[in-house]
Structure 1
Amino acid sequence: MTSVQTAPAPTKRPVRQLLAASVGNAVEWYDWYAYTFLATYIAAEIFPPGAGSSLVPLLSTFAVFAVGFFMRPVGGLLMGAVADRHGRRTALTVTILLMGGSSLLVGLTPSYATAGLAAPAVLVLARLLQGLSVGGEFAASTTFLVESAAPGRRGLFSSFQYVSTTAGQLLASGVATLLVDTLAPDAMHGWGWRVPFLLGAVLALTGFWIRRGAQETRSDSGRQAPRPGLLEALRRHPRESLLICGITAGGTLAYYTWTSYLPTYAELNAGVDTSDALLAGTLSLAFFGLLQPLGGLLSDRVGRRPLLLAFGLGFALLAVPLLHALRDSFAVLLLVQCAGMVLLTGFTSISAAVNAEIFPPWVRAAGIGFPYSLTVALFGGTAPYVGTLFKDLGRSGLFPWYVSVVCLLSTLVYLRLPETARTDLER
């Protein structure tokens, strides 16, 4: 665990730094989630109909989504290494250009009727690039945000990681909903589904321009240090790498359960109407985004460990009763989602700061990027699959216990973490 070292003067343009990280991160996640919201349209255009099953194209679309998810650890490692070797700003400009290019590629993917098997091949390539970009984005933007903060403000700056992620998710949902509500079905299937991805490419150029003017956060001594090897962080800091996994496992499982899977879970297990589930999910996401700066500010005052423990113990004790409380009621679903969002903020608002405070600066981005993205892929990315699997096995009641146990295991890690909120960040 890194400790006290006098930090250089903080950036003179904190608002520009926050904007550079947040706008780019929002664009990254807008593109990532747009694919999910438009999966049914992509399936119909890009994949051949399955013999005897109308679900085959949709399943193929989600399989490509999974491919992108498991590219994220590779992106965390590669783009983290770029950030450590060539600077945080360089990595941030590379990741947003990758995402813009991959979004453009999705938008221009030919239909199966036009190009045959080349169509799904192009889509797979685009999702590989998106996964690489999203994995690298967290590694680079985490270090950039936290290193940009003035003393006593690292928690606040850290919180904008999930403020911008939530903004991107809400924007993707809003654009997709607007198109579906305004375009005729034929137009939506023919060209409408491509519009959000083409828009994403334009937004990426805007984010690129903003990031080009950002201030580099790596110190002069960091620039003069020997360039670390690709696996330097894993080789020299195995304990810290495992620590990132332990910190993240419960948080990412709870995050993807409450922000992505809960509407589907409520439909499958409590009979909640689809439109009610989606509306509750959207409202709770907006509430969640507003909570993040409050959590970051609180951690700067009382420390990181109290918030992490509140999150971990809260979910360990309340995940089961909260999920079992769901019934065919919009109000109950919204209350359950918002209650979970309050607890979840104890993790999300400060995870960037906690991760950055673990590693020394010369391997910070890669040290965070790979174990974090790998843990997200293993626990967060599989949450909907595990929940659906339990339902198919007739044991849907086990999923809340799964969430509870994983959060309890992460809580044991939090108990052993030293408090780092008031130490200077090594740079």
Structure 2
Amino acid sequence: MSSSTAVPAPPPPLPQPADERRKRRTALIGGSLGNLVEWYDWFVYASFAIYFADSFFPGDNPTTQLMNTAGIFAVGFLMRPVGGWVLGRAADRHGRKSALTLTVTMMSVAALLIAVAPTYGQAGYFGALVLLLARLLQGMSIGGEYAASATYLTEASARNRRGLGSSFQYVSMTCGQLLGLGILITMQHTLTTAQLESWGWRIPFVLGALFAVVVFWIRRRLQETDAFTEQAAEGADAGDDSTRGTLKVLWQHRRQAGLVMALTLGGTVAYYTYTTYLTKYLVGSAGMAKTTATLVSFTALTLFAVLQPFAGMLSDRIGRRPLLITFAVGCTVGTYPIMTALGSASSYWSALGLSLLALVIVTGYTSINAAVKAELFPTRVRALGVALPYAIANALFGGTAEYVALWFKSGGHEKLFFWYVSGCALVSLVTYVLMPDTRDTALSRAEAEADARPDTGASPAPAVEAAHRHAPVPPGRPLP
């Protein structure tokens, strides 16, 4: 081709048949609703702990009781890498649909265990043991859910809409928090404190178990993704079916696993800072009333959920890296002034405006991180590749963000936490600048062969060879 000849643009995607669009909508609903229920059950424990703490741990010190329940809450974070490994492996070996069904089953059992757990007065510390077992199941479930839903939503979406499809992971995740918060607010206005502490706290866990049963039925009706079906068939024909989803194969892609940890670092710290820690910060540092701070958080999270699909669609048009870089620059430069201003916010509107500014910045990460991670790995290890490094980074940095913030505060150096968040974002910024854009990655042989057609201007051999290996074919330059 001469230098004066323009490279032809890829042809626009063909219209999808009605049954194909229906299948993708069902996949989106099944993946998203299950994620919503998972995160509802995950967060409702922390929301209602103040009401059931003294039911399991005797004593006259409420702080000690809450610390005991918080310790059991923390165990869930420690189990997330285990769940990511076990269920990520299951998703790569037995299918995304199978793993999605298993995670929601585990969460349903965990919620039911908490709902029926006997109190200290009924069975001594056996009730606390049941609580611990339930939290272990929740941690494993949520560790596997992230990878299974991220992989499924990405693979089940049309190639030119992967950013949009995967954005619903954080839509559903945030809606799960909002659902739990809404139920808490409703019960606070309909039941007395004594009723909540006696039996009312069990209601949200019963609801969580019932929600999970409904989602189980929906997920059983899902179809497996084409990428996994294709890989499973080729693996069986080649006789290497047993290598799927193993740590040995993941080690061959350790560079991508390192990328997942590095790109997760800044995003998970920022997310937990501006969501779970925000209400406590407004109350403890800004001196805002609890009801006002809760309303700020509820409104900001609602608008945050609405933003996700729009950012996902934008990434489908301009690529993933521009949004990731915008997030990292905004978080690195903006965290200190935003958090400082929030610390002196005196009204609902000023706090809401600053919170929304922060969450708009964070949207550059949350809306597309699932797609980016899934697009980094080949099909045979995609779920495990997303699950394990993400769960480790999340447990080390996301789960500890609130503790680190309170540690700095207790030492009289609260503003050092702002620099900590900025530093984490800076590490991710370097990663985003060096990594390739993954938007145009072929996730299956069919997509790679479409790239290889003469009318796309692509070279057939490399694309087909890459598809046969199930390796992603990112258009950007590789890391040095």
Matched to 1:43, the amino acid is: A
1:234 deviates by: 3.5
Give the SS at the match of 2:275: helix
Which residue in 2 is equivalent to 1:3? none
Which residue in 2 is equivalent to 1:378? 396
1:254 counterpart = 2:262: no
1:219 deviates by: 3.5
Give the SS at the match of 2:285: helix
Q: 1:130 aligns with which of 135, 138, 142?
A: 138
Give the SS at the match of 2:224: coil
Is the contact made by 1:11 and 1:148 (CA closer than 8 Å) also made in structure 2? no
Which residue in 2 is equivalent to 1:391? 409
After superposition, the C-alpha distances for 1:293-335 in whole angstroms (9 at most, x for unaligned) are: 0000000000000000000000000000000112132222111
Which residue in 2 is equivalent to 1:208? 216
Q: 2:30 aligns with which of 20, 25, 42?
A: 20
1:421 deviates by: 1.1
Map 1:178-327 → 2, pairs under 5 A: 178-217=186-225, 218-224=227-233, 225=235, 226-227=241-242, 228=244, 230-326=246-342, 327=344
After superposition, the C-alpha distances for 1:177-226 in whole angstroms (9 at most, x for unaligned) are: 11121112221111100000001000001000100111101443311322
Give the SS at the match of 1:359: coil
Q: Distance in 2 between matches of 1:143 and 1:12?
A: 19
1:39 counterpart = 2:49: yes
Matched to 2:76, the amino acid is: G
Q: Distance in 1 between matches of 2:386 and 2:159?
A: 21
Q: What TM-score, normalized to structure 1?
A: 0.95
After superposition, the C-alpha distances for 1:315-357 in whole angstroms (9 at most, x for unaligned) are: 0000000001121322221111100111111000000110001
Q: Distance in 1 between matches of 2:280 and 2:245?
A: 43
Matched to 1:20, the amino acid is: G
Is the contact made by 1:156 and 1:296 (CA closer than 8 Å) also made in structure 2? yes
Which residue in 2 is equivalent to 1:5? none
Q: Distance in 2 between matches of 1:210 and 1:290?
A: 24
Which residue in 1 is equivalent to 2:374? 356
1:284 deviates by: 0.3
After superposition, the C-alpha distances for 1:124-152 in whole angstroms (9 at most, x for unaligned) are: 00000000000000010111000001121
Q: Distance in 1 between matches of 2:283 and 2:146?
A: 31
Which residue in 2 is equivalent to 1:6? none
Q: Distance in 2 between matches of 1:277 and 1:376?
A: 25
Which residue in 2 is equivalent to 1:116? 124
Give the SS at the match of 1:270: coil
Answer with 34-43 or 329-338: which moved more: 329-338
Is the contact made by 2:54 and 2:62 (CA closer than 8 Å) also made in structure 1? no
Q: Distance in 1 between matches of 2:83 and 2:21?
A: 27
Root-mean-square deviation over aligned CA pairs:
1.5
Which residue in 2 is equivalent to 1:61? 69
Q: 1:333 aligns with which of 343, 351, 374?
A: 351
Q: 1:99 aligns with which of 88, 101, 107?
A: 107
Q: Distance in 2 between matches of 1:220 and 1:25?
A: 23
Is the contact made by 1:233 and 1:241 (CA closer than 8 Å) also made in structure 2? no
Is the contact made by 1:20 and 1:211 (CA closer than 8 Å) also made in structure 2? yes
Larger RCO of the pair (alpha carbons < 8 Å, separation 6+): 1
1:229 deviates by: 5.3
Q: 2:168 aligns with which of 160, 172, 176?
A: 160
Q: 2:362 aligns with which of 344, 355, 359?
A: 344
Q: What TM-score, normalized to structure 2?
A: 0.85
Instruction: From the superposition, tell whether residues 233 and 55 of structure 1 become closer, same or farther in structure 2 (CA, over 3 Å).
Output: farther
Give the SS at the match of 2:377: coil
1:11 deviates by: 7.2
Answer with 386-395 or 219-228: which moved more: 219-228
1:54 deviates by: 2.8
Q: Distance in 1 between matches of 2:264 and 2:90?
A: 23
1:417 deviates by: 1.2
Query: Structure 2: where are the runs of 5+ without partners?
Result: 1-15, 236-240, 445-469, 471-480
Q: Distance in 2 between matches of 1:107 and 1:317?
A: 44
